[in-house]
A and B are shown apart, each in its own frame.
Chain A
Amino acid sequence: MKKEKKMKLSLPEVELMNSGHMACQGCGATLAMRFALKALGQKVALCIPACCWSVIDGPFPYSSLDVPIFHCAFETAAVSASGVKAGLEMVGDKETTVVAWAGDGGTFDIGIQALSGVAERNDDIIYICYDNEAYMNTGIQRSSATPYGAWTTTTPVKHFKNRPKKDMEAIMAAHRIPYIATASIGYPEDLVKKVKKAKEIKGTKFLHIFAPCPPGWKSQPEDTIKLARMAVQNAIFPLYEIEWGEKYTLNIKLKEKKPINDYLKIQGRFRHLTKKEIVFIQEEVDKKWERLLLCVNGSK
């Protein structure tokens, strides 16, 4: 064996997630939680509505996380977190960070009115949405986060989804909250940095984490990180921050965007797409990227 050298780790060593959870092989949501908890530390309380994570955590007398979790109703992730925070402040605890941890269905469709209310009141919570682009827990139904052209069980191949993904960051930016960021599990250092930054800011913070799902996307379990990284390099899911709804900052600057074909090819849910539709998706992605660049350059 070689000479031993000191190992340099790019992430905090604290480990608040245990093995033995119920996630699928190569789950992206699990990695998102692991990285977020590394950044947040022990002083944190989580509110989890019905989503994949309410199953991954384990059945009744068990839990796979070393932090307190409150399982709430589907549409109330944001208000539950706001209530927990208010309760903690009443008993004099001002250190604990309260995090609402919801999937894309609980954020984009069902929980949006509660989230909008909390953002308008500017309650002091972090709202984290891990986005696997469909209702994966109940068996891959379409949500408003599903991208154009994707197969799901409610949008079968003959009638695939013909509407684009909802632009959640723009909706949240219109609320003028202090901090909005997108992160990806393919870039863990960036994710940890953003969660740490959100922890320091007072007010409502919204984080959108891209988390691939191998069973739902019909991809191989070992490609999870590759897909997350490709989505950033294709500009399908660019990484940026918005402060007070106005100041845009781009985190990963792309010299040249990679073509979208490789990303679509390794996912079974896009296998039915014809060349015409792929060109259409590429145009949509280019338009969205141009819009983002305009926002970034305009706020300098």
Chain B
Amino acid sequence: MKKKKGAQKIVFKSEKDFPLMPMSIGSMLFNKTGAWRNIKPVINLEKCIQCGICWKFCPDVAIFIEKEWPVIDYEYCKGCGLCAEECPTKCIAMVEEEK
């Protein structure tokens, strides 16, 4: 529900820094997937009925609920448009990204 803290990219300076077992030691949160998108969703909160469907169907976990209202995290949103398609009141619009 709440936004998670971002993680750092891991850099191994030498072979000695490698973990002994091939196991994961970091989170993919450093990978800002927001750069992938061409169109971005914008929520019009005037028409929002707080159903939570956009939060439910976000494959990138980029929609959070803050103080009972949905908020989009543009650092990770890949711009697939699922939230705009599924919104019952169509209050999410897909807007062209500014270059």
Contacts and interface: CB of A to CB of B under 8 A. Distances in A.
Nearest to A31: B59
- Among the interface residues B28, B46, B59, which one has the most CB atoms of the partner chain A within 10 A? B59
Contact of B56 (A11, A63, A221): A11
Interface string A94-125: 00000000000000000000000000000000
B31 A58 contact: yes
Would you call the interface of chain B mostly helix, strand, loop, or mixed? loop
Contacts of B32: 20
A252 to B, nearest CB: 18
Nearest to B27: A18
Contact of B28 (A10, A11, A18, A224): A18
- Among the interface residues B28, B65, B82, which one has the most CB atoms of the partner chain A within 10 A? B28
Q: How large is the interface on A (under 10, 10 to 19, 20 to 34, 35 or more residues)?
A: 35 or more
Contact of B81 (A15, A20, A222): A222
B91 to A, nearest CB: 12
Interface string A52-65: 00000110111110
Interface residues of B, number: 44
A233 interface: no
A279 to B, nearest CB: 30
Interface string A1-18: 110111111110101011
A26 B80 contact: yes
Contacts of A2: 46
A7 B51 CA distance: 7
A30 interface: yes
Would you call the interface of chain A mostly helix, strand, loop, or mixed? loop
A62 B27 contact: yes
Given A18-B61, A31-B57, A222 B27 contact: no
A20 B82 contact: no
Contact of A62 (B10, B22, B57, B69): B10
A299 interface: no
B24 interface: yes
Given A2-B46, A20-B28, 8 more contacts: A5-B50, A9-B52, A15-B61, A18-B28, A19-B60, A20-B32, A25-B80, A63-B26
| 9 nearest CB pairs, A to B | A222-B81, A19-B76, A63-B24, A26-B80, A64-B28, A25-B80, A221-B80, A20-B31, A222-B85
Interface of A: 1-2, 4-11, 13, 15, 17-23, 25-28, 30-31, 34, 57-58, 60-64, 69, 188, 214, 220-226
11 contacts: A1-B46, A7-B68, A9-B52, A20-B31, A20-B76, A27-B59, A62-B30, A188-B57, A214-B80, A220-B81, A225-B57
